[in-house]
Amino acid sequence: MTFSIHGLPVARGIAIGRAVIMGGRVDVAHYFVEPEQVESEINRVREGRNAVIEEIQRLQQTISQMKPKEAPHELSALLDVHLMLLQDRDLIDGVKHWIQDRLYNAEWALTTQLEVLSRQFDEMEDEYLRERKADLEQVAERILRYMKGVASPVQPAPRRKTSQDLLLDDSVDVPLVLVAHDLSPADMLQFKQSVFAGFVTDVGGKTSHTAIVARSMDIPAVVGARSASQLVRQDDWVIIDGDGGVMIVDPSPIILAEYGFKQRQAELERGRLARLKHTPALTMDGQKIELLANIELPDDAAAAVEAGAVGVGLFRSEFLFMNRKGRLPDEDEQYEAYRRAVEGMKGLPVTIRTIDVGADKPLDDGIRDAAHLNPALGLRAIRWSLADPAMFLTQLRAILRAAAHGRVNLLIPMLAHATEIRQTLSLLDFARAELDNRGVVYGPVQVGAMIEIPAAALTLRTFLKYFDFLSIGTNDLIQYTLAIDRADESVAHLYDPLHPAVLQLVAQTIAECNARGKGVSVCGEMAGDVAMTRLLLGLGLRSFSMHPSQILAVKQEVLRADARRLEGWSHEVLAAEDPGRLLSKEETQ
Catalytic residue among 30, 82, 209, 499: 209
294 in Cβ contact with 545 (< 8 Å) = yes
Give the one residue of 182, 300, 356, 512 binding ligand PEP; rule: CB under 6 A: 356
Minimum Å gap between C-beta 320 and Mg ion is 17
For residues 235 and 555, what is the distance between their CA atoms, to the nearest angstrom? 39
User: What is the enclosing helix (H) or strand (E) of 61?
Assistant: helix 38-64
Q: Tell me whether residue 476 is annotated as binding.
A: yes
Q: Tell me whether residue 512 is annotated as binding.
A: no
Q: Which is nearer to ligand PEP, 180 or 506 (CB)?
A: 506
3-state secondary structure labels for all residues of 505-520: HHHHHHHHHHHHCCEE
Give the one residue of 201, 229, 475, 570 binding ligand PEP; rule: CB under 6 A: 475
Count of residues binding ligand PEP (CB under 6 A)? 11
513 an active-site residue?
no
Q: Tell me whether residue 316 is annotated as binding.
A: yes
* Cα distances (Å, whole numbers) of residue 482 to 7, 125, 137, 457, 570: 21, 51, 44, 14, 21
Closest CA relative to residue 90, chosen from 106, 108, 114: 114
405 an active-site residue?
no
Indicate whether 474 belongs to the interface with ligand PEP (CB under 6 A): yes
Give the one residue of 523, 554, 563, 566 binding ligand PEP; rule: CB under 6 A: 523
Indicate whether 452 belongs to the interface with ligand PEP (CB under 6 A): yes
Answer with the entry of Mg ion, ligand PEP, none that 524 interacts with (C-beta below 5 to 8 A by kind).
ligand PEP
Q: Tell me whether residue 145 is annotated as binding.
A: no
Minimum Å gap between C-beta 175 and ligand PEP is 28
Indicate whether 358 belongs to the interface with ligand PEP (CB under 6 A): no
Give the one residue of 220, 251, 524, 548 binding ligand PEP; rule: CB under 6 A: 524
Indicate whether 351 belongs to the interface with ligand PEP (CB under 6 A): no
DSSP 357-419: -BTTB-SSTT---TTSS-GGGSS-HHHHHHH-HHHHHHHHHHHHHHGGGS-EEEEE-S---HH
Q: At 531, give phi and psi (nearest 5°).
A: -70, -15
Q: Among residue numbers 299 through 328, which ones bind ligand PEP (CB under 6 A)?
A: 314, 316
Closest CA relative to residue 86, chosen from 141, 5, 123: 141
Q: Which is nearer to ligand PEP, 232 or 453 (CB)?
A: 453
First to last CA, the chain: 45
For residues 586 and 369, what is the distance between their CA atoms, to the nearest angstrom? 43
3 state DSSP class of 462: helix
Indicate whether 107 belongs to the interface with ligand PEP (CB under 6 A): no
For residues 49 and 589, what is the distance between their CA atoms, to the nearest angstrom? 69
Q: At 25, give phi and psi (nearest 5°).
A: -70, 95
Q: Among residue numbers 243 through 302, which ones bind ligand PEP (CB under 6 A)?
A: none
Interface residues with Mg ion (CB under 5 A) are: 452, 473, 476
Q: Which is nearer to Mg ion, 476 or 529 (CB)?
A: 476
Catalytic residue among 30, 82, 499, 523: 523
Annotation: binding site? 316, 353, 452, 475-476, 486
**Active-site residues: which are they?**
209, 523
Note the residues at the interface with ligand PEP (CB under 6 A): 212, 314, 316, 356, 452, 473-476, 523-524
